């Protein structure tokens, strides 16, 4: 099955994840095999670094386009859990 996603679709899906963890500014670098994303808090401190390879981007965009709008569904409650399992949070402030 072949799928083509636009930058709009990809950035929307990545943005939803970043919004969930409270990122205030971002830096995105396109790499040969996907994206490298850094998220910062309002003080400019690094909160998260994420590397999405092509399969991970496909999965993220596919789920985002599933039309699930409600934040409190069982599937969406697992989004942050999956995110935390797959990405390293850095610079947590106390």
Q: Which pLDDT band, with edges at 50, 70 and 90, does 68 fall under?
A: very low
CA–CA distance, 63 with 58 (Å, rounded to integer): 9
Distance separating alpha carbons of residues 27 and 9, to the nearest angstrom: 17
Contact 50, 23 (CB under 8 A): no
Looking at residue 5, its pLDDT comes to 78
Least trusted range by pLDDT, from 15-19, 24-28, 83-87 = 83-87
* Better-scored residue on pLDDT, 37 or 4: 37
Kindly tell me if the per-residue pLDDT of 20 is higher than 60.
yes
Query: For the residues 34-61, what does the mean pLDDT come to?
Result: 93
pLDDT band at 93 (very low <50, low <70, confident <90, very high): very low
The residue written with tokens 């850095």 in the block is 90
Half-sphere exposure of 69 (CA within 13 A, CB side): 0
- Quick check: pTM over 0.85? no
């Amino acid at each position: 099955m072949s799928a083509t996603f636009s930058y709009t679709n990809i950035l929307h899906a990545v943005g939803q994840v970043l919004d969930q963890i409270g990122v205030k500014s971002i830096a995105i670098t396109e790499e040969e095999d996907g994206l490298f994303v850094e998220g910062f808090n309002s003080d400019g401190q690094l909160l998260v670094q994420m590397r999405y390879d092509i399969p991970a981007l496909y999965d993220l965009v596919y789920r985002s386009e599933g039309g699930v709008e409600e934040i409190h569904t069982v599937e969406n409650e697992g989004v942050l859990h999956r995110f935390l399992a797959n990405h390293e949070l850095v610079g947590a402030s106390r």
